[in-house]
Structure 1
Amino acid sequence: MIERTGVVTFKGNPITLVGNEVKVGDQAPNFQVLANDLSPVTLDRFQGVRILSAVPSLDTGVCDAQTRRFNEEAAKANGITVITVSVDLPFAQKRWCGAAGLDNVITLSDHRDLSFGHAYGVVMKELRLLARSVFVLDASGNVRYVEYVSEGTNHPNYDVAIQAAKALL
């Protein structure tokens, strides 16, 4: 498996990312993760314009804010599917969604085998968490926007990601 250094830090510490780097123009890699009911889910289950939002853990402030912001934008923009992926257990994701009252974001768990993380090159080797990142896919499954957030405790560039997705509608 490919390892990349010098791409991101977490709390100021250098982190090794495991997996292939995804670039604009690539065909979006498929993956298999778990839904909140433990059923397997793959990327091809979702059609149309998609925002894939990877977060380290929904139970942290920035991840919570990131998921809420994309939820708000999905509610305003008909035709965009927002998928948040973390290594949180499906039970924790379900609890978080219920407590947060969010219904426009799909949360999926990559805890079992890091399929998404490896496919998108966002596994933080030292922490076994996903690096904060955003991928926008068009209806044909082409990657149209990528952001690997350089410091894991920072927010992504919401406006640019959302504009990239809206431009595909």
Structure 2
Amino acid sequence: MKVTKKGEEVEIIGVQPEVGDQAPEFSLKNLKDEMVNLSDFAGLPVLISVVPDIDTRICSLQTKRFNQEAANVEGVKFITISNNTKEEQANWCAAEGVDMEILHDTEGTFGEAYGLFIPEMGRLARGIFVIDKDGTLVYEAISTEIAEEPDYAAALDKIASIL
């Protein structure tokens, strides 16, 4: 699959899981250096917001938006994943007052499992995944233009429909 960054085509590697598939398992560390697995949230719907670089404007907007939604929607686990280091994520969260679960994929394992890694940038593509309480992927949206905000309403509508 190809996406663009400010109009310039970049390639993402791997195969994205499809709606209806079991969501691929992953294990990533959070800001407390605790290992977090997708299977830890079995029985709960999960919204995964993937951003290329937490320190950029669109990624910041996306993460803050889902942090606000997480405070208003009960019974859903909201997660943000980026390639940023733990320190970069922690500094950003402290500066922005964000307290949602933030995971760092510095090894690229999530990017490979979900087909979102952009080798020439060393970053993840922008995407949103919604997983139902049984672990089935029920929504995925990979932004064709990395520099644009995703469709928040579509992802949030899908979450509301499975609660």
TM-score computed with the length of structure 2 as normaliser: 0.95
- Match of 1:63, SS state, is helix
Q: Using the alignment, how far apart are the partners of 1:75 and 1:165 within structure 2? A: 14
Structure 1 residue 74 and structure 2 residue 70: aligned? yes
Find the aligned partners of 1:71 and 1:36 in 2 and give their Cα distance.
Answer: 15
Match of 1:54 among 35, 50, 54: 50
Give the counterpart of 1:30 among 25, 36, 43: 25
2:8 is aligned to: 13
The answer to whether 1:128 aligns with 2:122 is yes
Q: Which residue of 1 aligns with 2:38?
A: 43
Unaligned runs of 5+ in 1: none
Shift of 1:38: 2.6
Query: How far does residue 39 in structure 1 lie from its aligned partner after superposition?
Result: 2.9
SS of alignment partner, residue 167 of structure 1: helix
- Aligned pair count reads 162
Q: Distance in 2 between matches of 1:142 and 1:50?
A: 10
Question: In 2, Cα distance between the equivalents of 1:87 and 1:134?
Answer: 15
- The percent identity for this pair of structures is 37
Measure the CA separation in 2 of the matches of 1:50 and 1:13: 32
User: Structure 1: which 4+ aligned runs deviate by more than 4 Å?
Assistant: none
Which whole-Å deviations, capped at 9, do the CAs of 1:106-133 have from their partners, x for residues lacking one? 100001x211101111001110100000
Query: Offset of 1:151 from its aligned partner?
Result: 0.2
- Give the letter aligned to residue 94 of structure 1: A
Query: Which amino acid letter does the alignment assign opposite residue 137 of structure 1?
Result: I
| Pick aligned residue for 2:138 from 135, 144, 162 | 144
- With normalisation by structure 1, the TM-score equals 0.92
1:89-100 paired onto structure 2 within 5 Å: 89-100=85-96
Cα distance in 1 for residues equivalent to 2:119 and 2:53: 15
Is 1:114 paired with 2:114? no
Q: Which runs of 5+ in 2 are unaligned?
A: none
Per-residue deviation, 1:12: 1.2
